[in-house]
Every structure is written in C-alpha cells, then in structure tokens.
Structure 1
Amino acid sequence: MNWIAALPMYNVTPELAAHWRALLAHVGARLEPWLAARGDSLALIEPDEQLERFWLRDDLLLSQTCGYPLVHALSERVRVIATPAFDIDGCAHGNYRSVLVTGAHVDATTLAQCQGLRAAFNDDDSNSGMNLFRAAVAPLALGKPFFSAVLRTGGHLQSLRALAIDRSADVAAIDCVTLAFVRDRLPELADGIREIGVTQSAPGLPFIASKAVPAEVPALLADALDDAVRADPALARRLKLTGFVRRPASDYASILDIERGAIEQGYPVLA
C-alpha cells in the first residue's frame, strides 16, 4: 500500500505547516520498519481535494480532523488515534475551547452586547467556529435570530481578517489553538481584535487514520506521535505540544450534546 499523511488543521503560516510536516516525518521514520516489512510506502502530501473526501480515503495513514465532522460525516468511518494536548490556556487533557472575539472597532465587551451585530464563522462543519459559537449564543437568542447578519468565511484566518482588516463582520468564535498561533505569528490580525469571552470546552481535534488500516496500526501511530514529542522537544515547543492523549471516539459524543443543547433551546442555526 502507498500510504499518505497530512496535517491540515493548524497550518496558520507556511512556517507552521513545515513544523507539522516535520512531526509527520518523525512518525514516518518511526514506522519505517513496519512499512518496509510490508513493502509499503508513506508520502507526506498537501490535500488537493475536499477535506471530508480526503479523510475518508482508504490509503490515509494519518491526518487530523475536527470533532464536528468526526461525529457526523466521519462517524464510525475512521479510526481515532490520539488527541494532541497543547500548552495553551483551555487545552488541558486534550480538550480545547473557542475564544469569543470582536473587531477592535466594536464597543461590545460581552457576547450579550453583540446582539444585532454581524457574526463571522469559518464553516458549517466546524465545532470551534460554529457549534461552540452557536451553543454560546443559544441562551441569549431566546429562539430568535441574534445577529443582523452571519458570514461564512471558509476559515478561522478569514474570519479574523473579516473582523480585524476588512471590518465586514464584528464577532466570531476562534479555536484557541489557532488564536494562540495567530498571536505569536500574525500581529496584523491579533492587533485588530479583542477577546470578550470563551466558550465551553470540548475534546480537541483528533488525529485519525483510515478504517482500512491494519489492526496493529493505531497503537503504532500513537506510540510514534509520543516518540516524536520526546525526540524533538524544540519542535514540540514550536507546535506548543505537550503530548498526546489517547481517548476513545466515544468521548466526542459530547460535541453532539453541545449541538443538541442549542437545538433544544430553539437555536438550531447560527443566526
């Protein structure tokens, strides 16, 4: 089998993308005896197809997805390998949350004060940008539209640009890991926003493999990820990684609970 691997979720800058690729290279080196014994190969690639299709490829040895597609489109169709733990506020034990931010041009200091403003979100299948955001708004919306407009941007960086640069939106929920990298590396975005709160916590973005991988592979991959963090502490620091947590796919059912809670409050769609 000619296996592939890619980590597309936290490539905030080209430099960070190279660091994530280096992590994959560590994993590939650790798995080389297993690959060689089977006559297999591993290619580190950049996905050139829609991510849901990419995550469902039979030749996918390792990638990272969001928890929302994991419990919807990918449910029981991929293997959960491990969840990264980051040295970032709100990321203990492999969890994470979103940070509620406004553009610097906005006077609101709480989410409640954002009623009637323009919201931005990255995509419909995002836990951090949509699901957690929706859950935070639901008790304030009272079953009615809360914002004057809602803009789907296609990515967290685009949402931040809409707030900080274009001023085409006023408020968004940004994955706390993405935001930590932005604060370090993209001051033009970080300086144009203000934090007004945080959402509830959820399981972090899991590393996954194809359901078609042999039974021994998930443990091999999890061990290789642990080894990569130990073997290159400098790389781990650049990626803000403290390690990996092995948690079952069932942990991610809490994301469905978050979704269900908003729907039961009469707020099924971010609006």
Structure 2
Amino acid sequence: MSHWIAALPMYNVTPQHDALWRALLRDTLDAFAQAGGPREVDLPAAFPHDLLTLWRRPDLLLSQTCGFPYRMLGVANAVHLLATPAFDVEGCEGAFYRSVLVVSARAWDAGAVSLAACRGLRAACNGPDSHSGMNALRHAVAPHAHDGRFFSSIEWVGSHLNALRALGAGEAEVAAIDCVTLAYVRDALPELLDDIRTIGVSAAAPGLPFIASRTVPEQHAALLRDALDAACAADAQRARTLRLRGFVRLAAADYARIEQYADEARALGYPELA
C-alpha cells in the first residue's frame, strides 16, 4: 500500500500531552523509516469523530485503541497488536491499569464514601464503548445492583475530562476515570480535582493497545514494535511527562479479561450500565 496514516487519539488530555504524543509518533515513524518502513505517512491534524472506522482502516500504519473496541467490537480482527504502554502511575502494574472510582465532594459529604453507598446517584461516563469509563464501572457496580439497576441515570459525556467537569458542576455524582488520565489531570489540571473524591478502584485490565492494520506486513509490524521502543527511549523528559515507562508485548488473549468482566456483570444480572 502506497499511502498510510497514523494517529494517537487516546491520551491527549491537554494540548501539551497532545504535542508530546505527536512528537513520540513522529519519532516512531522516523525510526521505522530508517529501518526500511515507508517514509510518506499522513498524520491528521484532527482526529475523526468515528474512531472505530479509523481503527479498521486498511491504510492504518499506527494508532492506539481502547481495549473494549479491540476485544468486544471487532477491532482485533482487523489489526496487528503491536504493544501496550506501561505507565508510571498509581493504579498501573506493568501494562495493566485500573479505573479510579470517584464522586463529587457534595456526594461524599452526603455519605457516598463507597461505591455501595452511591445507589440512586447519577453517573457520568465518557462513552458506551469505553472499558475504563463504562465496562470497568459496570463490573464494579454489578454486585450492588438490584433488578439490573443501580444509578438513577447515566450521562454520556464524551470524555473523562467531561465526566470530571460534570461532577464538579453538579450534573452527576459518580464516574470511573482511567488512572492514566487522572494522573495527567493531577499533573496539568489539578483544579479539576478540587471537588472530586476517590472511593475505590476497578479490577485491573490490559492497557490501551497500539495497533496496525493487518495489511501491514508482519515484518513491518515487528519493526514498528522496535520503533516504539526507540521513540520512548529517545527523549527521557518527554517520557517522564507522559509517565511512560516503555512498551510491553502482550498477547491478544490477554485482552479476554475485558470480555470476562462484561460476562461477570451479565451473570450478576447487570448487562448494561444503568
């Protein structure tokens, strides 16, 4: 294929994070080109609204997806699993991560100091296709649900940042936030956490995988894995700001844990976040 695209749309919490991830992407592609990969790769200035379509594109050279669409929505069938980042973040163990369960300060003051005590409150969630915001929260809530319900309502707000803002604005009381995103917010936007309280963490799951289309030859996929390692090591300060320790080679089967959590919630009579 003569034309390729690459984009890293998942952890651009602030403009600084966006710039650093784009720089790491450029360094990865430069190392890949030096090893024999294509030099002409399009880096879109903006990310498409429909990321599921992006991740399934046959001309996708490099991107990062969420584990839920990778395992549950068919992305794995269209891509190579390249590597999974390991972060220096509380809640991460190697390439595995957790969601942090948070409530608004007002809800905390009213007694919502545990997940079980959040019954009947409003939840804010980034999206129905998110492991960290939806699937992990559903799995955590399932043992406490009655007749398939726990919350009074679910607000789908589009991002973890918006979920934190919804809690701060009194539009919701509960959310599950990816621990890496929460660390970035604590580093760069700490004021968003002034009225947020932590009540627990989710079960651990494999982190957000870096992928390439199956149309990429296997030997080039191997070179991309090496190029990611080289880019991470190329700029120590960038890696520190991104809290990026390196990349781990997980197997596709490791992501079965995400489906397991969905199955466990379903077995407890809680198939949907509600």
Q: Normalization by structure 2: what TM-score?
A: 0.95
Q: Who is 2:202 aligned against?
A: 199
Deviates more, 1:99-108 or 1:253-262: 99-108
Equivalent pairs counted in the alignment come to 268
The corresponding residue for 1:87 is: 88
Q: Does residue 152 of the first structure (1) align with residue 156 of the second (2)?
A: yes
Matches within 5 A, 1:172-187: 172-187=175-190
Give the CA deviation at 1:100: 0.2
**Distance of 2:234 and 2:126 partners within structure 1:** 34
Aligned to 2:43: 44
Tell me the residue number matched to 1:64.
Answer: 64
Cα deviations by residue, 1:132-190 (Å, 9 ceiling, x for unpaired): 000000001143311111111111111111001x2100000000000000111112311
**How far apart, in 2, do the equivalents of 1:19 and 1:33 lie?**
21
Cα deviation, 1:52-108, whole Å, max 9, x if unaligned, reads 001111111111000000012213111110000000012121000100000111121
- Return the match for 1:118 from 96, 102, 122: 122
Q: What amino acid is aligned across from residue 42 of structure 2 in structure 1?
A: A
Residue 41 of structure 2 aligns with an amino acid whose one-letter code is L
- The C-alpha deviation readout for 1:189-241, integer Å capped at 9, x for no partner, is 11121111000000000001111111212211111111112121111101100
Contact 1:143 1:265 in 2 (8 A): no
Structure 1 counterpart of 2:267, from 261, 264, 267: 264
> 1:106 aligns to what SS in structure 2?
helix
Find the aligned partners of 1:20 and 1:131 in 2 and give their Cα distance: 26
126-135 vs 229-238, which moves further: 229-238
State the distance in 1 between where 2:3 and 2:240 align: 31
Query: Paired residue for 1:213?
Result: 216
The equivalent residue for 1:15 is 16
Report the Cα distance in structure 2 between the residues aligned to 1:92 and 1:127, rounded to whole angstroms. Answer: 17
Measure the CA separation in 2 of the matches of 1:185 and 1:20: 15
Give the alignment's TM-score, normalised by structure 1.
0.96
Report how far residue 41 of structure 1 moved: 1.0
Query: What is the Cα-based RMSD across aligned positions, in Å?
Result: 1.3
What secondary structure, in the 3-state scheme, does the structure 1 residue paired with 2:18 have? Answer: helix
Q: Which residue of 2 aligns with 1:251?
A: 254
- After TM superposition, the structure 1 stretch with the greater mean CA deviation from structure 2, 140-149 or 211-220, is 140-149
Whichever residue aligns with residue 189 of structure 1, its letter is: L
Offset of residue 265 of structure 1? 0.2
How high is the sequence identity, in percent, across the aligned residues? Answer: 54
2:148/2:272 contact within 8 Å kept: no
Report the counterpart of residue 138 of structure 1 in structure 2.
Answer: 142
The answer on whether the counterparts of 2:65 and 2:208 sit within 8 Å (CA) in structure 1 is: yes
